[in-house]
């Protein structure tokens, strides 16, 4: 019988840096359990190089592997690339000698279209739909929640007269225009604009939910203009919250509308110049500033942009106050699941150009998700800030198997090229959905396979049964898609309830949030059961408030084929961590998510094999994780204090100590680590405060990155000799 194997993904930014230090430790301990481990490169750079034949397509290989019962993958957070990120990655790879074509923003020739199609596969959530062939179970380990209650994260109070609010469209959004059908047979659908086929929805399965909607571009622009005026009148900070990485077609367009509205004066004044330079507002002010480098008017344009940021009203939210990098510079800087939780955490505020917190209007155009953020903000304004030392835990069961919902929308999302009617038809020519649209509107479709939905409902029931906590389906009967999902819940849930009754509710997101917050404030736990997007948003929102970070959440994906995918937390803060590391060799990324994922990965192997060696290493790791938390060995935020590298040392020491209770070899390892603790820490801290050279951002030089992340000769010798 072959040895069990774990695939550890090689990805990007902070978690990639952490891997250089952690992986050698994991490799040595797993060898003792008879478990093989190997890395698979699915980084943005790796995906780009694979697209042009410079390396094997590791993502495609993993896409096959997840459909095998032996699949066991530890998946770290990867870059969901926006166009500016992709262009920066290409430029870096070109500098490294790879003969890659430039990204064609407006492909015209057949060759350019072919290049654009290859790069398109690297944009947005290219990885997740391939690997997530199962539904998501995200929760905090009991020890993690207990630690957070004992050492609660700091949340700032809301002022009694807080004016912050969430702004959303009341008409013309995706929420209002949605239509949905449940397929009556296996089929292929066409999407037609004024009778001409522009897209196909292939391999529709009987009982699958297929939905579509559009957002009015005119109404979006009117709405954005109103929010800017309102923020000005109320002296609020203006901020936009979208997810242009995951929603790689629709949200960059919405972002572009926001850029044009906020900097309307500039876009009107230099319209001819911008057209000549190929300025695309969807790519943000950062890209605009690069494009105008070729313009004779560049200083004049820069001065106008800076004046609007510095003197204009209203103030705009900042990503980097010191360098005047705004909410509208780069679409990948305003990931809603990473940007909205801090608004709640900071008492309804965001950072302004003076580097100070200011109450804000959080602009979230589409009501499908804006309403739940509105509910939590209003709840805090009325009842005050949460108390992490007493609040209950909100876990999540998320529908995402088989590219469910918006993650699968990309091939069917487009900017409408002309006025008319978009129709979705079956193969017999029957019109299933029809939309009257105008040029510039944003149209999209999304799908959820019936077997994926069934498994999602089963998993939700299972979690409710195991915990005794109520499960809440966040579904809105006034949304066409959700109405069909409710039909599925009503049809499939009773078969489980007959055997094991549990408490369950079906509520629209706003009401589900209200119910969940009431329980949370009372110290009670609740399981949110959601579609794919809310899974993403809630599993950042609640962990950031409860635990201080979403990186400490376990994310377990029981794959439909019988294997497991174990995800390691969120990477929204990863770019800032790398910036700090390059400047001062201090990595504040917390690898607790990796520690917990590894434990769950080993648990699956033990449950399948009954291998006592695996259990021995697993039990020791569980105890080591508890010790890591109890002794508060998470990385410090400040250079000169123990960082990620030191946290790996402590995990290794605690793990060896526990394993050493039954294993003489590891008792000796633990002894060496304990005796050399002070020396090892001194060696790890000796590099702090100095710049780090890792040989690249998107494609690090392995030797340089490993040297930067393993600076303790003593520690390395002990680990490498195991």
pLDDT tens digits, residue range 234-288? Answer: 999 999 999 987 788 899 999 999 999 999 999 999 999 999 999 999 999 999 9
Q: Give the integer Cα–Cα distance in Å for 376 and 368.
A: 15
Question: Mind spelling out the 3-state secondary structure of 115-128?
Answer: HHHHHHCCCECCCH
Q: Is residue 408 part of a domain?
A: no
Percent above pLDDT 70 for the chain: 99
Q: Domain of 586?
A: 1-81+125-133+559-722
Q: Is residue 675 part of a domain?
A: yes
Residue 345 structure tokens: 């955490």
302-305 CB contacts, 8 Å cutoff, 24+ apart: 304/265, 304/266, 304/269, 305/263, 305/266
pTM of structure = 0.90
Per-residue pLDDT at 464: 97
Q: Is residue 193 part of a domain?
A: no
The answer to whether 225 and 232 are in contact (CB under 8 A) is no
Instruction: Categorise residue 172: left if φ over 0, alpha if ψ from -120 to 50, beta otherwise.
Output: left
pLDDT exceeds 60 at position 119: yes
Q: Is residue 57 part of a domain?
A: yes
For 486-502, how does the pLDDT look when each residue is reduced to its tens digit (9 = 90+)?
999 999 999 999 999 99
Q: How many residues does the chain have?
A: 722
Question: Mind spelling out the 3-state secondary structure of 367-392?
Answer: HHHHHHHHHHHHHHHHHCCCCCCCCC
Per-residue pLDDT at 106: 87
Question: What sign for the dihedral angle of Cα 361, 362, 364, 370?
Answer: negative
Per-residue pLDDT at 126: 85
Question: Mind spelling out the 3-state secondary structure of 147-196?
Answer: HHHHCCCCCCCCCCCCCCEEECCCCCCHHHHCEEEECCCCEEEEEEECCE
Mean pLDDT of the region 695-720: 97
For 43-89, how does the pLDDT look when each residue is reduced to its tens digit (9 = 90+)?
999 999 999 999 999 999 999 999 999 999 999 988 888 888 999 99
Quickly list DSSP for 607-660: HHH--HHHHHHHHHHHHHHHHHHHTT-PPPSSTTS--HHHHHHHHHHHHHHHHT
Mean pLDDT of the region 622-626: 95
Q: Is residue 231 part of a domain?
A: no
Q: What is the CB neighbour count within 10 angstroms for residue 176?
A: 19
For 65, 343, 656, the CA distances from 602, given in Å and listed in that order, are 18, 37, 16
Q: Is residue 275 part of a domain?
A: no
Mean pLDDT of the chain: 95
Pick the range with the lowest mean pLDDT from 181-195, 218-232, 403-417, 639-653: 403-417
- Report strand pairing: 471-474 vs 504-507: parallel
For 394-440, how does the pLDDT look when each residue is reduced to its tens digit (9 = 90+)?
999 999 999 898 776 678 999 999 999 999 999 999 999 999 999 99
Per-residue pLDDT at 608: 95
Q: How many domains does the chain have?
A: 1
Residue 368 structure tokens: 């499908």
Q: Is residue 229 part of a domain?
A: no
Q: Is residue 634 part of a domain?
A: yes
Residue 553: pLDDT band (50, 70, 90) is confident
Per-residue pLDDT at 573: 66
């Amino acid at each position: 019988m072959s040895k069990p194997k774990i695939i550890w993904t090689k990805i990007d930014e902070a978690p990639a840096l952490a891997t250089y230090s952690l992986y050698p430790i994991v490799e040595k301990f797993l060898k003792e359990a008879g478990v093989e481990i190997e890395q698979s490169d699915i980084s943005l750079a790796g995906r780009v190089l694979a697209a042009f034949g410079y390396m094997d397509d590791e993502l495609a290989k993993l896409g096959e592997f997840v459909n095998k019962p032996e699949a066991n993958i530890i998946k770290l957070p990867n870059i969901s690339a926006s166009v500016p990120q992709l262009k920066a990655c290409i430029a870096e790879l070109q500098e490294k000698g790879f003969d890659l074509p430039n990204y064609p923003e407006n492909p015209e020739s057949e060759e350019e279209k072919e290049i654009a199609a290859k790069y398109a596969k690297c944009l947005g959530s290219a990885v997740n739909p391939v690997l997530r062939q199962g539904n998501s179970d995200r929760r905090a380990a009991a020890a993690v929640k207990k630690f957070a209650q004992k050492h609660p994260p700091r949340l700032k109070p809301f002022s009694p007269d807080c004016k912050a609010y969430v702004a959303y469209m009341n008409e013309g959004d995706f929420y209002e225009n949605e239509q949905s059908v449940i397929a009556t047979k296996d089929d292929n659908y066409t999407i037609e604009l004024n009778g001409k086929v522009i897209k196909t929805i292939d391999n529709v399965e009987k009982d699958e939910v297929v939905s579509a909607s559009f957002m009015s571009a005119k109404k979006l622009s009117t709405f954005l203009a109103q929010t800017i005026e309102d923020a000005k009148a109320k002296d609020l900070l203006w901020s936009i919250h979208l997810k242009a990485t995951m929603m790689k077609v629709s949200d960059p367009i919405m972002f572009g509308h926001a850029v044009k509205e906020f900097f309307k004066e500039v876009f009107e004044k230099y319209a001819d110049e911008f057209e000549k330079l190929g300025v695309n507002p969807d790519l943000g002010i950062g890209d605009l500033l690069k494009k105008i480098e070729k313009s004779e008017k560049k200083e004049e344009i820069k001065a106008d942009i800076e004046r609007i940021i510095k003197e204009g009203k209203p103030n705009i939210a900042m990503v980097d106050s010191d360098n005047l990098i705004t909410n509208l510079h780069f679409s990948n800087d305003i990931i809603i699941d990473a940007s909205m939780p801090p608004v709640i955490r900071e008492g309804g505020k965001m950072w302004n150009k003076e580097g100070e917190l200011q109450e804000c209007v959080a602009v979230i155009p589409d009501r499908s998700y804006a309403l739940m953020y509105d509910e939590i903000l209003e709840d805090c304004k009325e009842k005050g800030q949460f108390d992490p030392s007493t609040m209950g835990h909100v876990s999540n069961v998320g529908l995402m198997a088989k590219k469910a919902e918006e993650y699968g929308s990309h091939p069917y999302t487009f900017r409408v090229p002309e006025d008319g009617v978009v129709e979705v038809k079956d193969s017999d020519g029957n019109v299933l959905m029809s939309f009257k649209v105008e040029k510039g509107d944003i149209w999209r479709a999304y799908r959820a396979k019936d077997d994926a939905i069934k498994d999602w409902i089963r998993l939700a029931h299972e979690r409710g049964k195991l915990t005794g906590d109520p499960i809440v389906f966040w579904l809105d009967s006034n949304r066409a898609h959700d109405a069909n999902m409710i039909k599925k819940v009503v049809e499939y849930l009773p078969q489980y309830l007959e055997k094991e009754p549990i408490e369950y509710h079906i509520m629209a997101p706003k009401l589900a949030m209200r119910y969940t917050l009431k329980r949370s404030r009372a110290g009670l736990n609740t399981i949110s059961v959601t579609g794919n997007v809310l899974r993403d948003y809630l599993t950042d929102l609640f962990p950031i408030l409860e635990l201080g970070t979403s990186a400490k959440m376990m994310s377990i994906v029981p794959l439909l084929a019988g294997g497991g995918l174990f995800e390691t937390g969120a990477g929204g803060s990863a770019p800032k961590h790398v910036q700090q590391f390059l400047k001062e060799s201090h990595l504040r990324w917390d690898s607790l998510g990796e520690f917990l994922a590894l434990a769950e990965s080993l648990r699956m192997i033990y449950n399948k094999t009954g291998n006592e060696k695996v259990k021995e290493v697993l039990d020791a790791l569980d105890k080591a994780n508890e010790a890591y938390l109890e002794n508060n060995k998470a990385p410090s935020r400040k250079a000169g204090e123990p960082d990620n590298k030191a946290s790996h040392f402590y995990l290794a020491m605690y793990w060896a100590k526990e394993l050493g209770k039954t294993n003489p070899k590891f008792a000796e390892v633990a002894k060496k680590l304990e005796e050399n603790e002070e020396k090892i820490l001194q060696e790890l801290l000796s590099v702090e405060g100095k710049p780090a050279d890792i040989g690249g951002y998107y494609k690090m030089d392995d030797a340089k990155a490993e040297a930067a992340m393993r600076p303790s000769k003593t520690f390395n010798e002990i680990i490498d000799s195991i």
